[in-house]
Structure formats: structure tokens, C-alpha cells
Amino acid sequence: MQTHVSTTPFGRRPMTLGQISSQMAAKAVKPDAVAHKWQVFQDIREARELLGATDRSLAILNALLTFHPETTLSGDAELIVWPSNEQLAARANGMPATTLRRHIAVLVECGLVIRRDSPNGKRFARKSRGGEVEQAYGFDLSPLVARAQELHDLAEAVHAERKAFRVAKESLTLLRRDIVKLIDTGIEEGVPGNWGKILLDYQAIITRLPRSAPRQLVEAISADLSVLYADIREALETFTKTQNPDANESHSGRHIQNSNPDLHTESEYSLRKKEEAGGTAAETDNVQSLPKRELPLGIVLDACPGVRDLAQGGEIRHWRDFLAATELARPMLGISSSAWLEAREALGEQHAAITLAAIYQRADQIGSPGGYLRSLTDRAKNGKFSTWPMIMALLRAKLDAQKASDDLGQRRSDSAVEGDGRLQASEALLKNLKRSRER
């Protein structure tokens, strides 16, 4: 007959208040409480991060459950199992003894099992002549019954969080796709608006998104993108209302043909915070390896207006005009044919031309255009360079310069107005002028 139930661990293992709390919960379990051991194990597996359990500790728990013969765990049954370390390691896929002991301690700390150690620390059961267990020393599984509902609620919370995270990521993906395509539409269709600034605003929001972001940050970025999307959509819809409705492609009106049939807009590069079009190639290291997306011609020309001066008639309507203009820029920058050929092979003809146009735009800040192009070519071969951040840096510099110029003009205007009110001749000066006239 069992006279005392062990509540402290054997040897040097310390006793904690958490273990006492687990024992109190197990002691308070109702006799009629029932739990399906594999359903409880499934809930623990789902909520293991919240519980602090590890994959190895769950492997041990799974092995412990196999030593209990019944599928259901009831509050009035004896739920102590007493496998040896050798038996437990065998059912835990041959786990080493040191690893086994370490992760058993994790289960105890998580409050999933309770140690019922014998006086000498061995695990065994004393049975009566009839074969019934009178006293057992080992691992008590009663916390699984006592915490069955709690573990189920934790698993449901994990499921809800995963679903919310999945929905947030889907919303973010759709917003990114819609915004990029709507910006391209506005540029290609000639809709009035500062599309370069809008694109920079979009990229500024996206740069806040790290490679691995929590749900709260994803939702916050989605909220900012939703505001930007609403503004873009409103601008496009307002412009559409002013146009002839017969201009729809399905009717016999005018047909708008894309000047770049190879344009792909399914993903975009992330904008870096540093300018890449400066004089050092080291600023192009932090380029994310995302699927390639072509830049719209309108954005490139807005960032590199200097290349228009090289075009025939000063006008660039298609990519072929742009490529022809950059061919004239190459010898003017002193870039050798071999460097240009290598850049075209690494970047492709179109992206090499965009890179050359950006270098031409900042030629006064680049000491060696040929060496700079070769450096960018080498980085492109290693997947560390793209034209997107370079063009975005030029657009940002252009907008900053315009803002600074407007602020300076406003200050000069204010100073002139204030000066008109203060410049008055003194009485002494007027008297001297009058005397000089009389003489």
C-alpha cells in the first residue's frame, strides 16, 4: 500500500516553484476528467514554441506515451510509467543518454510530466500478488489530463496566429503587385502625375520590410501600402473618367500598344537606402536576390534626362531609341568596347544601357567611368547589383535637389519682401544729398 507520493527529484536535481505548480494542477484534476493522449500530444506539438518544448523533448514525450497501455488518460487512473533510460532511448530513435536526460528535464520544466523518483532514483513498480501496481516510481503523465483544455486552447491560438499571418502576407503580396502594375499603367498611358515620386514612396515603404518580418510589421506595411494604392487608383480612375469610353480595347477605338512588349511586372527589387549611382561600386553590395523585373522607360528617362540630348531629335520614344543614345554616350565617357561588351553579356543589353545612362548622368562625380562599369559588371555576375536601386537613387537625388531649390527660392523671395520694407533713407543722408545738389 502506497503511503507517500514522491514530490521531489532524486540527487542533485533542484526543486522549483514551477514543478510545485505542476504538481498542484495534477493533484486538482477531477476523477472524471478524460483526455485522448494522442490528441493532447498533437496539441502540444502545435503549441511547442509557446510551451518552450523542443523537438527532441517531444520525441521523448511520444515515447513515454507509448509505455502507457491505454489510449485515453483519465483522472482516476494510475498514470505513472517507469521505463529505463535504455528502453526510453530505444523508442526515441536511439537518442544518446546525455541528450535524453537533458530533454527529460525540458519536459519537467514545461510542466508536461512530473518526476516521481524512488529513494535510489531508479524507476520501477511494485506489484501485488494479483499483478496490480501498488506503488510506481517514474514519470507521472497526469499533467496532460489536467492541462488538456489549456493545451488545446494554446494550439488553437497558434492556428489562429498562423492564419492571420498567412492572410497578412497574401494581402501584402497583392498590394505590391497591384501598386507596381498600376504605376506602370500610369506611366505607359501618360496619366498626369509625379510617378517618380510615387514609385519612391512605394519603395520607401517596402524597404521597411526585412527578410523575416513578424505579422504586426507586415500588417503595418500593408496598411501604408493600402493608402498609397487608394491614391494611385483614384488618380487613374479620375483620368479614365475624362477620357473617351470608346477607347476600350474591346471596342473599335484607338489601341494603346506597349512600347516594351517584353516588360514583366510580377516582382520588384527592393530599394536600398543608399545611393548606388555615386562614385563607388561598394554601395551596390546589399541587393536582394529577387526575380528580375524590367524598369519602365519613363522612369529611366526621368532619372537620366541627360541621355535625351544624345538622341536624334532630342526625343526617346522606344527602347531602341534609348539603346542608340547610350551607344553614343559610351565613347564620350571613355569606356572601352571590351568593357561595354562584358557589361552587356553580364547585365543584358537593356540593363547595361540603363547602367550606362546612369553613369552618364553622374559623370561629373565618377572619376573612372570605365572602371566603375567593370566593377558593376563584376558585381552583377555575383548577383550583387541591379539597376533598380541605381535609378531610384537618381530619382531621389533629383527630388531632393528640386526641393532644396524651391526652398532657396522661397527664402530669397521672403528676404526681398522684407528688405523692401526696411530700406529707407535716413534724414542725415537726405540732407547731404540736398546740399550736394545746391552746390
Please say whether the beta carbons of 22 and 142 come within 8 A: no
- The pLDDT value given to residue 153: 94
- The pLDDT value given to residue 270: 36
Low-confidence ranges of the chain (pLDDT < 70): 1-28, 131, 134, 244-293, 407, 409-439
CA 69 to chain CA mean position, Å: 47
- The pLDDT value given to residue 20: 62
Domain definitions of the chain by residue range: 17-146, 168-241, 294-397
Question: Does CATH place domain 17-146 in 1.20.1640?
Answer: no
Length of the chain: 439
Contact residues for 191 (Cβ-Cβ < 8 A; gap 6+): 185, 235, 236, 239
Nearest-angstrom CA–CA distance, 360 and 306 = 7
- The pLDDT value given to residue 5: 58
- The pLDDT value given to residue 9: 61
Select from 298, 228, 275, 224 the least CA-distant residue to 392: 275
Q: Is the pTM of this model over 0.85?
A: no
- The pLDDT value given to residue 256: 41
Burial of 60 (0-12, 13-18, 19+ CB in 10 A): buried
